[in-house]
Amino acid sequence: MSANDAHPTIKKEFILEGLGCADCAAKIERSIKELEWVSYASVNFPTETLQIEITGDVPDDMEEHIKRIVRQYEPDVTVNEKNGRKRPAESRPERSRIILLILGIITFTAGMFSEFMLNLDDRITLVLFIISYVILGGKVVLRAAGNIIHGKIFDENFLMTVATLGAFAIGQYAEAVAVMLFFQIGEFFQDSAVRRSKRTISELMDIRPDFANLYKNGKITEVASEDVNVGDLIVIRPGEKVPLDGIVTGGMSTLDTSALTGESIPRRVSLSDTVLSGCINLNGVLTVEVTHTFKESTASKIIDLVENAAGKKAPTEKFITKFARYYTPAVVGLAALIIIIPPLLFGGIWSEWIDRGLIFLVISCPCALVISVPLTFFAGIGAASKRGILVKGGNYLEALNNVGTAVFDKTGTLTKGVFKVTSLQPANGFSEYELLEAAAKAEAFSNHPIAVSIMRGYGKSVDRDELTGYTEIAGKGVAVNADGKKIIAGSRKMMEESNIEFEVPVNTGTKVYVAADNVYAGCITISDEVREDSHDTILSLKRKGIRTVMLSGDDPQITGELASELEMDEVYGGLLPQHKVEKVEMLNRGKKGKLVFIGDGMNDAPVLAMADVGIAMGGLGSDAAIEAADVVLMTDEPSKVIDAITVARSTNRIVWQNIIFALGAKSAFMVLGAIGIATLWEAVFADVGVTILAILNSMRVMRKAG
């Protein structure tokens, strides 16, 4: 028995309610990863969730271990295991925090009056400032001390504690308390901005209904969506969200599907039509038979995909987390040099250079970066989901920013994949009816779109019990015994390999060649309609400098004609599934930028997995598409690829705006602080102001959801 068999992987998810510090989130993640029984851990700051995978012997107090680690960094965060239901409502700022802030302001103001207006005893003034400092900064100092005890020294609590205690040491009491006051005010507004950002993103994905109208024994009862089983009947009234996937058994209506697909045009549904959870019923009353439980419903899958996407961090996000880890100790070292070197070597005044070093420390806090970068990626994922584009991680969103080659499957991607028989060309004495009948018998067991179109063209049912020896040869065709004859139907290759003489018609379209007992019976031409936006999509990609390639198992002549019509750069036809993999490997060699493959998500899993980014089209309700791809387009529109790239580029641009702005502004203020121009008060404004501006800039990505 292997180790994996002895200790199967267990997945757990926890809600970290009230998580407001992105830097702390990164440290919590890192500390939990160090637990010997944890094989994977990811803290999703925007959604306040922790995902872990456990192997080995799990301690009985596992949850207590996690709570202990969280409390080290965020004492006010509540840890609860996620139970699959709707996550708790977002916590509001604690009333006690506001009361303490007001008390701190009152005692600070009293201290200022005592010092500058009333000229009271210095000891009274000092006591007032100490009381104010304890009220405003007591928690910060305790956190810093707790972190030092646990060997976690360098964070914003440490920076603020050192800076303010240092100010007290050199007699700048008012400045020390003011730093804590403005820090707390700044934290309050910063937390508000983060909460508002998270709420805005969450609203984009607010497609999960709260209840279902269960119809049982002639009565309608409002129940939780989780309590409805497959096969139950539910009633959906006008204005209500569809709570679960199902099939209409009564009524007709129009559905607003924009939350799933990004499309504003309502969809008409009636008897036997499929409805998906997350849509909104606009007018008629519908009775629906449930086909998927709440957990397996489309809305739940989409929300889980988007929420979990932040766990797959982009390289830039990982770099910023790692950068912050080394940046803070580095600036503490620089601050120490600013304090020590000038007085020792150049005769500077100690109090003056201590003051400058403390200012340098306050400004250097990396919060603007560690908060805004993950928020921006998550906002980009939310904006894409609003357009009906599911991106499974920030890493894929960043990869879409640098696409160099776009490889398309043909059937069902650039074309509609809806075939119909357009020409019958019998030969060797066969009639059109006999040709079509032979082809229908050969294709009777296949569910390929071409086979379906032949059966539809034949218009009759085939008795499968009379058919024997059915064989399907991938990418070539099928063979079957019927009426005492061996019938084969397929491509030119199948005719050639069977040594059957045949004729190639001059008309365009997909051709199915048919033979009976090695006698050529004729050719059936089947046409597939090109999607309306395929041509514009290819032209838009080329304008962005992206190479476009088509891969298809269809006849090279047909694929060549379509590629020419769409103005694609390269085309490869007549490919078996393994040949598609080989072509993608070839295209990957020496390419510029990332390679994306766009397919229907059903038959292209190997190629989707091999590409830098695999994009499945038409994934609405398709489990196979959602599982196989890195990005899922919820409609059958190739133009969604352009939308995905546009959102990705906008996200990346804003990420780097925040990085450059934060580092640039902080560097400038650190220099001003070091040379004695900036004060401690200004340092706090610079730190908090830069963070809030970066957060607000991150939210501009949401416009891409419009």
Q: How far apart are CA 643 and CA 397, in angstroms?
A: 12
Q: What is the DSSP string of 53-99?
A: EE-SPPPTTHHHHHHHHHHHH-TT-EEEE--SSPPPPPPPPPHHHHH
Are 630 and 614 in contact by the 8 Å Cβ rule? The answer is: yes
Q: What band does 358 get if pLDDT is binned at 50, 70 and 90?
A: confident
Active site residue: 355, 409, 612, 643, which one? 409
Is 630 catalytic? The answer is no
pLDDT at 596 over 60: yes
Least confident of 58-72, 215-229, 459-473: 58-72
pTM check: above 0.75: no
Tell the residue number behind the tokens 């400058």, with chain if given.
Answer: 356
Measured from the Cβ of residue 471, the count of other Cβ atoms closer than 10 Å reads 12
Tell me what pLDDT residue 63 has.
82
Start and end residues for every CATH 3.40.1110.10 domain found in the chain? 416-529
Closest CA to 644 of 534, 568, 569, 541: 541
Q: Which residues of 44-69 are buried (b: 16+ CB within 10 A; e: fewer)?
A: bbbbbbbbbebbeeeeeebeeebbeb
| Average predicted confidence (pLDDT) for the chain | 81
pLDDT at 3 over 50: no
Least confident of 85-89, 236-240, 277-281: 85-89
Tell me what pLDDT residue 324 has.
73
Q: Average pLDDT in the 26-35 region?
A: 84
Tell me what pLDDT residue 318 has.
75
In the chain, what percentage of residues exceed pLDDT 90?
20
Q: How far apart are CA 23 and CA 159, in angstroms?
A: 13
In the chain, what percentage of residues exceed pLDDT 70?
87
Residues 117-160: tens digit of each pLDDT: 666 667 888 888 899 999 988 888 887 887 777 666 666 777 77
Between 155 and 294, the more confident residue is: 294
Residues 165-184: tens digit of each pLDDT: 877 877 778 877 887 887 78
| Of 83-92, 309-318, 450-459, highest mean pLDDT | 450-459
Least confident of 302-316, 408-422, 637-651: 302-316
Domain 212-299 has CATH 2.70.150.10: yes
Residues 661-704: tens digit of each pLDDT: 988 888 888 888 888 887 776 777 777 788 788 888 887 887 65
Q: Looking at the domain 389-415+531-646, which fold is it? A: Rossmann fold (3.40.50)
Start and end residues for every CATH 3.30.70.100 domain found in the chain? 3-81
Between 687 and 472, the more confident residue is: 472
Start and end residues for every CATH 2.70.150.10 domain found in the chain? 212-299
Start and end residues for every CATH 3.40.50.1000 domain found in the chain? 389-415+531-646
Residues 252-277: tens digit of each pLDDT: 999 988 777 766 678 899 999 989 88
pLDDT at 408 over 90: yes
Q: How far apart are CA 471 and CA 479, in angstroms?
A: 5
CATH class of this structure's domain 3-81: alpha beta
Query: For domain 416-529, which CATH number applies: 3.10.450.50, 3.40.1110.10, 3.40.50.720, 3.40.50.300?
Result: 3.40.1110.10
